Amino acid sequence: MGRLDAFDVGPKKLTVQTEFFARPSWRIETKVYLAGALKKVYNEDLSATPETELQRTIDAFHRAKIDEIAAGLRKLQQ
């Protein structure tokens, strides 16, 4: 389970990768890469999340991080 998106930011590629890990407890990890270099890692504990909600929670977390990054990039352009 997870998500992967890539965007062109000027001459560089921005990649946002969200992965699900079941051990030691349920969690997701979102990694942000710029031009192949790891720039930031976000973690979220999902141990209290019902199994039926996992993919929806992963998608929402991933989308929230992309929106956060996009807002930051818009601020830099102004």
Cβ-contact 2, 20 below 8 angstroms: yes
Predicted TM-score of the model (pTM): 0.86
* Beta-sheet strand order (sheet of 12-21): 2-9, 12-21, 27-34, 37-45
Domain with 52 in it: 2-77
Q: Which positions ≥6 away from 59 have C-beta within 8 Å?
A: 3
For 23-58, what is each residue's pLDDT tens digit? 989 999 999 999 999 999 999 999 999 999 999 999
Residue 1 has pLDDT above 80, yes or no: no
Domain total for the chain? 1
